[in-house]
Chains A and B, each alone.
Chain A
Amino acid sequence: MPVGDWCHRRVVTAEADISVREVARTMEREGVGTVIVTESDNPVGILTDRDIALHVLIERLDAEAVQARDLMQSPFITIPEETSLGRAARILRMHAARRLPVVDERGRPVGVIGSEDLVGVLSQELAALAKVVERQRPSPGSEAEAKQTIERSE
């Protein structure tokens, strides 16, 4: 199962030259914690609510004067939309990230995947696999079903 089928296919963007206070308000309005920072429509970085909170508060920055490009993470980690869910889960864990942008083959963001999305899918998968295990030794009939389940979960 590719991650592109399961992520939220919605991307909230912010122009690189807008103030981080404006980005914070966008996050509040859109109910997101990650925005893609763009420069003439090209993604150039990502900015999270955590980045804004820590930089602005600790470094005593003027949230009106500081722009999105000043605080964004660039380059940023992305997950190709063809990546399997299991691998996506591992990437999130490896980078201790709550959410990461999902990109198409040209590197353009098409959505965001978070750990909460993965749990739902993986528990469905687990339930399907549990049925297979319950059958223990597959008879010829249930083997076909087992095969289907495996193919679905791959």
Chain B
Amino acid sequence: MSQLKQYLKKAVSVPPDAPVREAAERMRSEGVGYVVVQAEDGHPVGIVTDRDLTLRVVAAGREAGITPVSAVMSRLTAVAAPTELLEDVVERMAKYGVRRVPVVDENEVLGILGLDDLLITLAAELHDIGEATRREVRDARRAAQIEQIRRELEDTFHEIEGAFHGVVEELEDVRTQAKDRITREVEAVRDRIRRLLD
């Protein structure tokens, strides 16, 4: 339920008889791209965007100081309640072909759900989720690769160890043989000397 609220933008309102210049001034000072046209009793009757002002005032050659916003606004066809689900409201936007829906409680405008703002927020969120997922998959693959390398290293180590043992054994043999031979040689020399002395 609070889902809808987190995507709301503040509503900047003007009365229906305000001149379009006032709407433009509010858009600039509030840093928004549209204003809600609100009747005296508070209920919203229309929306005027910066684009509407360009096309319906500048392109059409209307006088900005005397044209009321009610003359160039788009009449509201859809509103939303704060308790509605985001997907239901977006569906209504698609049905009525509107990009902005005032969220109204009783007669009070709580804020505006704008498709453009929503898209920017969702695009950023989707991208962040995508990044996190990619990182997860990458990490999983990296962990698998590390395990593979570890196993290969272990095998290599065992091979080297085996080979080393072989070499050590061979060295032992050589040493024993050499020792035996030297012993025999020494014995032989000793015999010859003993014989010469006799």
Which A residues have a C-beta under 8 Å from some C-beta of B?
Answer: 20-21, 24-25, 27-28, 33, 49-50, 52-54, 56-58, 60, 63, 85-86, 89-90, 92-93, 98, 115-116, 118-119, 122-123, 125-126, 129-130, 132-133, 137-138, 143, 146-147, 150, 153-154
Interface class of chain A by DSSP: helix
Given contacts A20-B58, A126-B129, A150-B134, contact A53 B123 (CB under 8 A): no
Out of A49, A130, A133, name the residue touching B50 (CB < 8 Å): A49
Contacts of A126 in B (CB 8 A): 126, 129-130, 133
Contacts of B151 in A (CB 8 A): none
User: Bound state CA distance, A87 and B119, in angstroms?
Assistant: 16
Most buried by A among B54, B61, B120, B129: B54
Segment 127-143 of B: residues with Cβ below 8 Å from A: 127, 129-131, 133-134, 136-138, 140-141
In the A-B complex, the 7 residue pairs with the closest CB atoms: A53-B53, A57-B24, A24-B59, A49-B54, A122-B126, A50-B50, A129-B133
Given contacts A129-B133, A133-B133, A143-B141, contact A53 B57 (CB under 8 A): yes
Number of interface residues of B (CB under 8 A): 39
User: Bound state CA distance, A115 and B126, in angstroms?
Assistant: 12
User: Bound state CA distance, A130 and B120, in angstroms?
Assistant: 21
Out of B24, B61, B134, B140, name the residue touching A53 (CB < 8 Å): B24
Out of B28, B55, B120, B127, name the residue touching A24 (CB < 8 Å): B55
Distance between A19 CB and nearest chain B CB, rounded to angstroms: 10
Q: When the two chains form their complex, are residues A21 and B61 in contact, meaning their CB atoms are under 8 A apart?
A: yes
Which B residues have a C-beta under 8 Å from some C-beta of A?
Answer: 20-21, 23-25, 27-28, 33, 50-51, 53-55, 57-59, 61, 64-65, 115-116, 119-120, 122-124, 126-127, 129-131, 133-134, 136-138, 140-141, 144
Q: When the two chains form their complex, are residues B124 and A93 in contact, meaning their CB atoms are under 8 A apart?
A: yes
Distance between B111 CB and nearest chain A CB, rounded to angstroms: 18
Distance between B50 CB and nearest chain A CB, rounded to angstroms: 4
Out of B58, B122, B141, name the residue touching A21 (CB < 8 Å): B58
Q: When the two chains form their complex, are residues B133 and A28 in contact, meaning their CB atoms are under 8 A apart?
A: no
User: Bound state CA distance, A58 and B65, in angstroms?
Assistant: 9
Q: When the two chains form their complex, are residues A92 and B120 in contact, meaning their CB atoms are under 8 A apart?
A: yes
Extra inter-chain contacts (9) besides given A24-B55, A50-B33, A129-B130, CB under 8 Å: A28-B59, A49-B50, A50-B51, A50-B54, A57-B25, A63-B61, A116-B115, A119-B122, A126-B129
Out of B54, B115, B123, name the residue touching A52 (CB < 8 Å): B54
Distance between B132 CB and nearest chain A CB, rounded to angstroms: 9
Contacts of A137 in B (CB 8 A): 140
User: Bound state CA distance, A6 and B124, in angstroms?
Assistant: 17
Given contacts A49-B51, A54-B28, A54-B50, contact A132 B58 (CB under 8 A): no
Distance between B131 CB and nearest chain A CB, rounded to angstroms: 7
Residue of B nearest to A85 (CB): B127
User: Bound state CA distance, A121 and B137, in angstroms?
Assistant: 20
Contacts of B59 in A (CB 8 A): 21, 24-25, 27-28
Q: When the two chains form their complex, are residues A57 and B53 in contact, meaning their CB atoms are under 8 A apart?
A: yes
Q: When the two chains form their complex, are residues B119 and A115 in contact, meaning their CB atoms are under 8 A apart?
A: yes
User: Bound state CA distance, A101 and B123, in angstroms?
Assistant: 18
Residue of A nearest to B99 (CB): A116
User: Bound state CA distance, A49 and B59, in angstroms?
Assistant: 10
